[in-house]
Amino acid sequence: MAAVIATAGLVQPATGTPASADPAANGPQATAPDAAAVTYPLDCKGNPQAVTATAEGDLDGDGRPETVAAVRCQAGSGTPPHAIYVLTQTAPDKDATEGARPRVVATLLDTPQRQTATDLTVRDGIVTATLLGYSSPDIPRYSPDVKKLAKWRWSDGKFRQELTDSTARSV
C-alpha cells in the first residue's frame, strides 16, 4: 500500500504552461513601441500630427514587435494624406533596454503620394493597408474615388512593397 501511495505522489497531472525550447520566449515579453511617443518626420506647417491607425507585430523576425503607424496632419477640412511609418524601440545592432524611446526606422507611404490609409494590419510579418486616392486632380480632396490594397514585407534588409491586384477600384 505504501508503494502505491508513494507512486501516486510522484505521478501528478501537469499544471501550468510548458516551457518553450526558446529561452527568450520564457523571459519578459517585449512590448511594441508606443506610436504616441514619437515625433514623426511629417511637416504639418504648425498643425498637430494625428496617429489615425496602428498595428503591431514582429516584421523583421528578431522576436521583438514593431509598430506600424498611419499618421496625418490634423487639418480643418478635406482629407489630408497619410504617411505610414514603422517604429522600433532600439537600433537593430543594440539590445533592447528599459526606457528605450521608440523611433521611426522606415517610411512605407509618404504624403506626396496623396493617399489615405485605412484598415492597417500586421499579420505573418506583412503590413497591409487599404489606400484611398484620387483618379484625377479634379476630384475633391474630401472624396477619394480610388481604392487599392497595399502590402509590404521586410526582405533583404529593407521593406519592399508586394504587388497586389493592380486593378484599382472606384469607391
pTM score: 0.75
CA 157 – CA 137 distance, rounded (Å): 36
Domain that holds residue 118: 29-170
Residue 87 belongs to a domain: yes
The type of residue at 164 is T
Residue 15 belongs to a domain: no
> What is the predicted pLDDT for the residue at 101?
85
Residue 93 belongs to a domain: yes
Residue 10 belongs to a domain: no
Q: pLDDT truncated to tens, each residue of the chain (171 aa)?
A: 444 344 333 333 333 333 334 444 444 567 999 999 999 999 998 889 999 999 999 999 999 999 999 999 997 776 789 999 999 986 545 555 555 789 999 999 999 999 999 999 999 999 999 999 999 999 988 889 999 999 999 998 899 998 675 445 555
How many domains does the chain fold into? 1
Cell of 135: 483618379
Return the biggest CA–CA distance within the chain.
91
> What is the predicted pLDDT for the residue at 95?
53
> What is the predicted pLDDT for the residue at 32?
93
CA 120 – CA 103 distance, rounded (Å): 19
40: which DSSP letter? -
